[in-house]
């Protein structure tokens, strides 16, 4: 069977950084309050950048580092909940900017699990021979859909993009991926579409903004993520200790510590970069992988696990081979 491995990485963040202290000038909060509850100290916020420009920048670096030609890329998937346009897709815009002319391009909406969902799709298409090399991107500008007066959300979410090029190969390095959803928790994280005029009925104008039940999401993440990781490890016949690094969706430092405790492994194995990037939803896992990559050596085993609105989750076990 055809396998898949990581061949290139890319990352892009806005130039503007916003500290906790600066946020405390906007809402009733403080650096101590945010840091102690989330682990976040600062975040990148777009001013001139867009979801599309960040996705293009990260994708371009990933393709260059993959050393594959643009002609070799035949699948482009972007995971995002904050596209600049519903159509064309962000993936089509990325392909146009990079000169990728013969690829299947589409976006995926699975919130903070989006990158793992998109990777599972790429994995399936490559392993069945439909595609050969895939460019998978997580890109978000969540600052445009945050209520900056809502302390429960505005201190968390941020902007950025991460990209991975997956190469089809006989030497498979993506061992197992599992995804799932729990629709009964759909109202725990929501983002409505904007209101608009319609000829045949009236609709109340809605300003899109993320709304979240923080306690509910915390409970979901700290119970579902460990089970998902254990499922993947069981299928692949690995133990939690066999994994060198864990990359969880960068939502909350406490969640990662709780998962480490559940799995009975050192929290030092859980890579964190949310202190300077915050929660970038679908972009957080590929951005974290990019930041971790200088520490990785060939043969390292990694778990990546995303969780978020839907409610959705996705976990993958893979080997580093670059």
**Residues of 177-197 as b/e, b for ≥16 C-beta within 10 angstroms?**
bbbbbeeebeebbebeeeeee
| Residues carrying an active site annotation | 112, 249, 279
Q: 213-219 long-range contacts, Cβ below 8 Å, gap at least 24?
A: 213/187, 213/188, 213/189, 214/152, 216/185, 216/188, 217/188, 217/189, 217/251, 217/308, 217/311, 218/252, 218/254, 218/255
Q: Rounded distance, CA 250 to CA 222, Å?
A: 13
Q: Rounded distance, CA 264 to CA 90, Å?
A: 40
Q: Rounded distance, CA 294 to CA 296, Å?
A: 6
Which uninterrupted H or E stretch holds 160?
Answer: strand 159-169
Q: Rounded distance, CA 242 to CA 248, Å?
A: 17
Please say whether the beta carbons of 68 and 156 come within 8 A: no
Please say whether the beta carbons of 37 and 29 come within 8 A: no
Mark out the alpha helices in 8-127 (DSSP H runs). 20-23, 31-38, 51-66, 90-98, 114-127
């Amino acid at each position: 069977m055809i396998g898949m491995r990581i061949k290139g990485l890319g990352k892009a963040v806005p130039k503007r950084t916003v500290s906790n202290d600066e946020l405390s000038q906007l809402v009733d909060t403080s650096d101590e309050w945010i840091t102690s509850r989330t682990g976040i100290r600062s975040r990148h916020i777009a001013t001139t950048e867009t979801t599309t420009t960040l996705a293009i920048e990260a994708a371009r670096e990933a393709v260059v580092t993959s050393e594959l030609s643009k002609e070799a890329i035949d699948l482009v998937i972007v995971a995002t909940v904050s596209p600049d346009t519903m159509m064309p897709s962000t993936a089509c815009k990325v392909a146009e900017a990079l000169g990728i002319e013969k690829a299947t391009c589409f976006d995926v909406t699975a919130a903070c699990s989006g990158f793992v969902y998109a990777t599972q799709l790429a994995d399936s298409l490559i392993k069945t021979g439909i595609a050969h090399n895939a460019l998978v991107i997580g890109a978000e500008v969540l600052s445009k859909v945050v209520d900056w007066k809502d302390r429960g959300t505005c201190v968390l979410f941020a902007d950025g993009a991460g990209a991975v090029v997956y190469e089809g190969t006989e030497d498979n390095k993506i061992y197992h991926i599992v995804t799932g959803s729990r629709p009964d928790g759909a109202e725990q994280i929501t983002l409505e579409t904007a209101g608009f005029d319609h000829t045949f009925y009236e609709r109340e104008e809605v300003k899109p903004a993320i709304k979240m039940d923080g306690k509910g999401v915390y409970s979901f993440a700290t119970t579902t993520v460990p089970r998902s990781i254990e499922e993947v490890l069981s299928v692949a016949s690995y133990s939690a200790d066999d994994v060198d690094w864990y990359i969880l969706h960068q939502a909350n430092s406490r969640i990662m510590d709780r998962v480490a405790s559940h799995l009975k492994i050192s929290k030092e194995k859980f890579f964190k970069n949310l202190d300077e990037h915050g929660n970038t939803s679908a972009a957080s896992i590929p951005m974290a992988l990019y930041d971790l990559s200088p520490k990785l050596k060939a043969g390292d085993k990694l778990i990546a696990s995303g969780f978020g609105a839907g409610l959705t989750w996705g976990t993958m076990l893979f080997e580093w081979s670059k």
